[in-house]
């Protein structure tokens, strides 16, 4: 047997990391990642090295002979593992936005290592003893509000991650959390694979009838890129949505709808049904090991809603308010379709088609009319101008900062009044096979203050899947895409304007049912004339968007509000049902979804199609037992924006108050206290119901 000495292993480890760009200090503008120097082979050795370094730091805290204190225990823990956090933030963000087969394989290898490292921290009895000592004696120490929040969140994190589990169950907790880390990755990989596998190839030009020209051009260009004759439509949003909304060919609409709504449910290697059942059962076991009845009770413990009962009552209350309006919307569309000679029942692949025709007839509004005023470059300029007007921010493109893909644009963000650098913003807009669907904001680095007080500013990533430019036209956005961009930019502002001491509670590190407030508030500006005047001009004629078109956008703003409202509640009900089980589930995934969603179902269920097997928010992301938060935050944002409307949408005192009380504070204070400091009262759902025109 060949035996390698410990010295040889150590030397080998040093060789693996020597010259590794992930380990070195980045001599780049604002210490931004040197993407072009990083290879896939660099990640695993760098992460293994960084885990060892972080473990040494944590061990030193646990073995500290000094009396436990906020500084030598809580702050020391907060500052530990910075190298590891830097590398993993980079890796996992790129695995979402610009992945490849090797990265996906690495993610499966790396995730268990990180889970073990996390468990080694939270399940260390000596370390928890120190944290608990500081927590239980905090009344005797003078602390700032932010310090109190960090202490409380640190203690709760230890408890939530098994610190109080008896010794005989700690190994089980480790195994459960390790398996969950792999399964959630696999879930997302399966959805992405299914999304990329499907394409609808059209050979007959008649099958394009009804489609807007921009969609036809994009499909033609994609076919050329793939060296295929005809036109190709995919399940990426900029391709799928126009087809399901405008294509006259009902059979093809049904085909692409079924493909889109059956992702992860084809009984093949990408099937997610077994993965879903494993995830929910492991989450249940994890919660029960921690003393909770179910996963919902466990996860809601650290939210504004607090309890499962509060969430269920909230969803039920909104369902009761919205259901009559959703039924009215469906009847309107059905009656309209019949009036046009459609004598069959409305199916799921019909609703968008006929509702869009009715919308165009009622408001004389369609994407071909609107999109020319929403050139991507102009929308970016408009959103930057809005951030300047509200918060005094300037965005300077920096083409010398390295980026991870040619589609990405990079900006420095500056506070003009203070002449202060605030952040680097990476903006990545177009679909590709290496990027998952949807839109999101995240960080390569969060804002915090170093020990000596210097302010480390964030590196923020905004990722979308918008309409690509073609050889005949630039990227022209739909009105819905403009709203999506405003939404994600609101999250970016939450990160950019953060002014916290500790990274774990800065920026968007807030309660899940509070994090959507800044993003959803920004969507309210989309129909404001004062905002549209900043940028909305025809890309050919430079004519400003006419007032009558704005009036139509405003009139149509809450079109089908009941239907869309119920759709969000539908997702929330599915989420809560999966995470409210108190016994392991062994039944049908389809049956569980049908049972959960039946109160919000207005059309027949289609066999083989469901949301669960592609519901990345809850099975591959951080919204498990938390999807209700989108509606919860809508209550907040409707109430908050009513103050902007009352005082003037660009009122400086209102925007300054929102910045100081909400955006800059991150999670440094209880969110209800932050909200009341801005608004002066607790939120009421009435503002949301009025905005949706459910009440006057």
pLDDT in tens, 77-108: 999 999 999 999 999 999 999 999 999 999 99
CB atoms within 10 A of CB 510: 23
**pLDDT at 170 (0 to 100):** 94
Tell me the per-residue pLDDT of 480-538, one tens digit each, with 9 for 90 and over. Answer: 999 999 999 999 999 999 999 999 999 999 999 999 999 999 999 999 999 999 999 99
Same domain, 122 and 226: no
Report the candidate in 466, 468, 471, 500 with the shortest Cα–Cα distance to residue 485. 466
What domain range is 79 assigned to? 15-164
pLDDT band at 12 (very low <50, low <70, confident <90, very high): very low
Tokens 């609808």 — which residue?
200
Q: SS3 sequence, 122-135?
A: HCCHHHHHHHHHHH
pLDDT band at 10 (very low <50, low <70, confident <90, very high): very low
Q: Which of 164, 190, 206 is the last residue of a domain?
A: 164
Tokens 């990180």 — which residue?
114
- Please give the Cα distance from 389 to 381 (Å, whole number): 12
Per-residue pLDDT, averaged over 560-578, amounts to 97
pLDDT of 160 higher than 90: yes
The β-bridge partners of 421 are: 414
Q: Which of 226, 260, 294 is the last residue of a domain?
A: 260
**pLDDT at 368 (0 to 100):** 86
Same domain, 452 and 548: yes
pLDDT of 1 higher than 50: no
Per-residue pLDDT, averaged over 378-391, amounts to 98
Does 1 fall in a domain? Answer: no
**pLDDT at 45 (0 to 100):** 97
Report the candidate in 614, 615, 618 with the shortest Cα–Cα distance to residue 264. 614
The beta-strand segments (E) located in 450-570 are 455-456, 459-463
Contact 180, 283 (CB under 8 A): yes
Residue 620 tokens, joined: 């591959």
Same domain, 399 and 542: yes
Alpha-helical regions (H) of 261-365: 273-289, 295-299, 308-339, 348-363
- Please give the Cα distance from 489 to 393 (Å, whole number): 13
- Please give the Cα distance from 237 to 226 (Å, whole number): 19
Buried b (16+ CB within 10 A) or exposed e, 287-321: bbbbebebbbbbbbeebbbeebeebbebbeebbeb
CB atoms within 10 A of CB 437: 18
Same domain, 383 and 517: yes
Tell me the per-residue pLDDT of 232-265, one tens digit each, with 9 for 90 and over. Answer: 999 999 999 999 999 999 999 999 999 999 999 9
* Integer Rg of the chain from CA: 26
Residue 17 tokens, joined: 């990391």
One of 78, 147, 488, 593 is an active-site residue; which one? Answer: 488
Contact 364, 552 (CB under 8 A): yes
Does 498 fall in a domain? Answer: yes
State the chain's mean pLDDT as an integer.
Answer: 95
Residue 650 tokens, joined: 């660009």
381 Ramachandran zone, left/alpha/beta (phi>0; psi -120 to 50) = alpha
**pLDDT at 453 (0 to 100):** 75
Same domain, 72 and 152: yes
- Number of separate helices (H) and strands (E) present in the chain: 28, 9
Element (H or E) spanning 352, and its range?
helix 348-363
Buried b (16+ CB within 10 A) or exposed e, 324-355: ebbeebbebbbebbeeeebeeebebbbbbbbb
Report the candidate in 7, 97, 655 with the shortest Cα–Cα distance to residue 430. 97
Please give the C-alpha separations between residue 646 and each of 386, 389, 640, 641, 651, in angstroms, as whole numbers. 18, 17, 10, 8, 9
Among the residue ranges 11-15, 397-401, 576-580, the one predicted with the least confidence is 11-15
Does 301 fall in a domain? Answer: no
Q: Show Cβ contacts of residue 367 under 8 Å, excluding neighbours closer than 6 positions.
A: 212, 214, 242, 478, 479
Residue 163 tokens, joined: 């610190």
Tokens 């300054």 — which residue?
656
pLDDT band at 696 (very low <50, low <70, confident <90, very high): confident
Same domain, 31 and 158: yes
Q: Per the structure, how many domains does the chain have?
A: 3
Share of the chain above pLDDT 70, in %: 98
Same domain, 516 and 389: yes
Q: Which of 557, 589, 624 is the last residue of a domain?
A: 557
Contact 623, 273 (CB under 8 A): no
Same domain, 35 and 147: yes
**pLDDT at 297 (0 to 100):** 97
Does 430 fall in a domain? Answer: yes
Does 507 fall in a domain? Answer: yes
Burial of 532 (0-12, 13-18, 19+ CB in 10 A): buried
Report the candidate in 514, 569, 618, 564 with the shortest Cα–Cα distance to residue 315. 569
Tokens 């379709």 — which residue?
337
User: Which is more confidently placed, 207 or 450?
Assistant: 207
- Please give the Cα distance from 690 to 355 (Å, whole number): 22
Residue 219 tokens, joined: 């499909």
Residue 375 tokens, joined: 């050139």
Distance of CA 435 to the CA centre of its chain: 14
- Our CA angle for 649, 491, 276, nearest 5°, is 135
Contact 130, 86 (CB under 8 A): no
Does 425 fall in a domain? Answer: yes
- Please give the Cα distance from 130 to 244 (Å, whole number): 58
The beta-strand segments (E) located in 51-197 are none
Q: Is 488 marked active-site?
A: yes
CB atoms within 10 A of CB 279: 24
Same domain, 58 and 120: yes
Does 610 fall in a domain? Answer: no
**pLDDT at 6 (0 to 100):** 39
- Our CA angle for 652, 655, 658, nearest 5°, is 145
pLDDT band at 315 (very low <50, low <70, confident <90, very high): very high
Q: SS3 sequence, 369-418?
A: HHHHHCEHHHHHHHHHHHHHHHHCEEEEECCCCCCCCCCCEEEEEEECCC
**pLDDT at 14 (0 to 100):** 53
Tell me the per-residue pLDDT of 592-633, one tens digit each, with 9 for 90 and over. Answer: 999 999 999 999 999 999 999 999 999 999 999 999 999 999
Same domain, 107 and 220: no
**pLDDT at 279 (0 to 100):** 98
**pLDDT at 17 (0 to 100):** 84
Residue 262, classed as helix, strand or coil, is: coil
Tokens 């650290």 — which residue?
302
- Please give the Cα distance from 674 to 681 (Å, whole number): 10
- Please give the Cα distance from 24 to 26 (Å, whole number): 6
What does the longest C-alpha to C-alpha distance in the chain come to? 83
Contact 293, 565 (CB under 8 A): no
Same domain, 149 and 205: no
pLDDT of 4 higher than 80: no
Does 233 fall in a domain? Answer: yes
> What's 140's domain CATH number?
1.10.1370.40
Please give the C-alpha separations between residue 30 and each of 34, 125, 412, 461, in angstroms, as whole numbers. 11, 39, 9, 15
Same domain, 211 and 110: no
**DSSP strand pairing (440-445 vs 448-449):** unpaired
CB atoms within 10 A of CB 251: 9
């Amino acid at each position: 047997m060949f035996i390698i000495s410990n010295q040889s292993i150590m030397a080998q480890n040093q060789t693996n990391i020597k010259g590794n760009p992930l380990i070195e200090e980045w001599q780049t503008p604002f210490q931004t990642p040197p993407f072009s120097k990083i290879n896939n082979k660099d990640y695993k050795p760098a992460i293994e090295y960084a885990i060892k370094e972080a473990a040494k730091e944590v061990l030193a805290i646990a073995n500290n002979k000094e009396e436990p204190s906020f500084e030598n225990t809580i702050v020391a823990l907060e500052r530990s593992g910075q190298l590891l956090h830097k590398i993993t933030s980079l890796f996992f963000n790129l695995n979402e936005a610009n992945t490849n087969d090797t990265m996906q394989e690495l993610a499966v290898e790396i995730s268990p290592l990180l889970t073990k490292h996390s468990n080694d921290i939270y399940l260390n009895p000596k370390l928890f003893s120190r944290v608990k000592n500081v927590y239980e004696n905090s009344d005797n120490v003078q602390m700032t509000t932010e310090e109190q929040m960090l202490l409380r969140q640190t203690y709760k994190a230890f408890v939530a991650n098994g610190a109080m589990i008896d010794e005989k169950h700690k190994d089980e907790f480790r195994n459960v959390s390790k398996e969950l880390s792999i399964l959630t990755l696999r879930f997302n990989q399966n959805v992405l694979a299914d999304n990329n596998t499907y394409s609808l190839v059209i050979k007959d030009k008649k099958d394009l009838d009804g489609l807007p020209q921009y969609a036809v051009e994009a499909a033609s260009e994609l076919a050329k890129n793939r060296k295929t004759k005809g036109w190709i439509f995919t399940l990426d949003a900029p391709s799928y949505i126009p087809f399901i909304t405008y294509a006259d060919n009902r059979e093809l609409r049904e085909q692409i709808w079924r493909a889109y709504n059956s992702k992860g449910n084809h009984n093949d290697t990408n099937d997610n049904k077994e993965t879903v059942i494993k995830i929910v059962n492991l989450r249940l076991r994890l919660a029960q090991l921690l003393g909770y009845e179910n996963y919902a009770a466990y996860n809601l413990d650290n939210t504004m809603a607090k309890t499962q009962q509060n969430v269920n009552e909230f969803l039920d209350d909104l369902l009761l308010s919205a259901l009559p309006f959703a039924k009215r919307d469906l009847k309107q569309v059905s009656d309209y379709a019949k009036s046009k000679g459609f004598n069959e029942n409305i199916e799921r692949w019909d609703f968008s088609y006929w509702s869009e025709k009715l919308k165009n007839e009622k408001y004389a509004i369609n994407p071909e009319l609107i999109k020319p005023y929403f050139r991507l470059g102009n929308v970016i300029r408009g959103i930057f101008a809005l951030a300047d007007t509200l918060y005094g921010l300037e965005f300077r493109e920096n083409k010398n900062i390295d980026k991870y893909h040619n589609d990405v644009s990079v900006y420095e963000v500056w506070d003009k009044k203070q002449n202060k650098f605030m952040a680097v913003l990476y903006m990545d807009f177009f679909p590709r096979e290496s990027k998952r669907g949807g839109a999101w904001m995240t960080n390569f680095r969060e804002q915090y203050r170093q020990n000596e007080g210097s302010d480390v500013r964030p590196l923020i990533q905004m990722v979308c899947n918008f309409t690509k430019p073609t050889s005949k036209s630039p990227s022209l956005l739909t009105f819905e895409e403009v709203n999506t961009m405003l939404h994600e930019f609101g999250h970016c502002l939450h990160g950019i304007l953060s002014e916290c001491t500790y990274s774990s509670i800065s920026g968007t590190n807030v309660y899940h049912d509070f994090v959507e407030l800044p993003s959803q508030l920004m969507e309210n500006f989309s129909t404001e004339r004062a905002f549209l005047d900043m940028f909305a001009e025809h890309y050919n004629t430079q004519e400003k968007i006419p007032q009558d078109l704005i009036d139509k956008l405003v009139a149509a703003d809450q079109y089908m509000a009941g239907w869309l409202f119920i759709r969000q509640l539908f997702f929330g009900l599915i989420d809560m049902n999966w995470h409210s089980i108190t016994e392991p589930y062994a039944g049908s995934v389809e049956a569980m979804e049908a049972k959960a969603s039946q109160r919000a179902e207005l059309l027949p269920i289609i066999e083989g199609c469901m949301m669960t097997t592609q519901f990345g928010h809850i099975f591959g992301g951080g919204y498990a037992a938390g999807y209700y938060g989108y509606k919860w935050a809508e209550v907040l944002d409707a109430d908050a924006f009513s103050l902007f409307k009352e005082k003037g949408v660009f009122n400086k005192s209102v925007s300054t108050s929102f910045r100081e009380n909400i955006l800059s504070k991150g999670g440094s204070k209880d969110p209800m206290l932050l909200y009341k400091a801005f608004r002066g009262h607790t939120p009421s759902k009435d503002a949301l119901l009025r905005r949706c025109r459910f009440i006057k």
